[in-house]
């Protein structure tokens, strides 16, 4: 297991976004940009993959300690911080999804919806679906009576 795997697992376990990771690294005065950070999380065969060095992981862990525990002057409860991150992830609006999307992206109007049925009912042939047993019932004889 290399530093990239450790970094990925911490990111998923703590539900951290890229901007939060950058903020955590800024707590220990370690500057990194978003594209460079994304290169750590790519697949190893990707052309833009970059190996995560010991210095980056060490600074992230030190910043994570400050982020979760706080400083001596301003201590924090780690579980409160984790719960806040979890709520922020769960309450984040999903981009690109709407409640009632239309195929062309325009809102529905009275003229576009009309009085058309949502689906076509086939009333001419109503077949009863019977359940077909694929496997026969088998009795196992394992020595018990």
Please state, rounded to an integer, the average pLDDT across all residues of the chain.
79
Evaluate the CA torsion angle 76, 82, 83, 84 in order and state its sign: positive
Phi–psi pair at 70, nearest 5 degrees: 85, -170
| pLDDT at residue 97 is higher than 60 | no
Per-residue confidence band for 78, with pLDDT thresholds at 50, 70 and 90:
confident
Q: What's the confidence (pLDDT) of residue 39?
A: 93
Q: What's the confidence (pLDDT) of residue 98?
A: 54
- Note the pTM of the prediction, 2 decimals: 0.58
Q: Which residue has the higher pLDDT, 137 or 67?
A: 67
Cβ–Cβ under 8 Å, residues 113 and 103? no
| Residue boundaries of the structural domains of the chain | 3-91
Per-residue confidence band for 96, with pLDDT thresholds at 50, 70 and 90:
low
pLDDT 10s digits, 107-129 = 555 555 556 666 665 555 556 66
pLDDT 10s digits, 34-65 = 999 999 999 999 999 999 999 999 999 999 99
Cβ–Cβ under 8 Å, residues 104 and 113? no
């Amino acid at each position: 297991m290399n530093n990239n795997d450790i970094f990925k697992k911490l990111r998923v376990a703590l539900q951290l976004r890229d901007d939060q990771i950058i903020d955590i690294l800024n707590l220990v005065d370690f500057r990194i940009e978003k594209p460079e950070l994304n290169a750590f999380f790519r697949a190893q065969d990707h052309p833009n993959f970059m190996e995560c060095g010991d210095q980056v992981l060490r600074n992230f862990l030190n910043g994570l300690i400050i982020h979760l525990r706080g400083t001596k002057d301003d201590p924090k409860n780690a579980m409160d911080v984790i719960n806040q991150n979890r709520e922020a992830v769960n309450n984040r609006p999903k981009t690109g999804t709407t409640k009632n999307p239309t195929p062309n992206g325009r809102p529905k109007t009275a003229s576009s919806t009309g009085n058309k049925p949502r689906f076509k009912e086939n009333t001419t042939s109503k077949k009863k679906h019977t359940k077909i047993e694929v496997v026969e019932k088998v009795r196992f004889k394992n020595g018990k009576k």
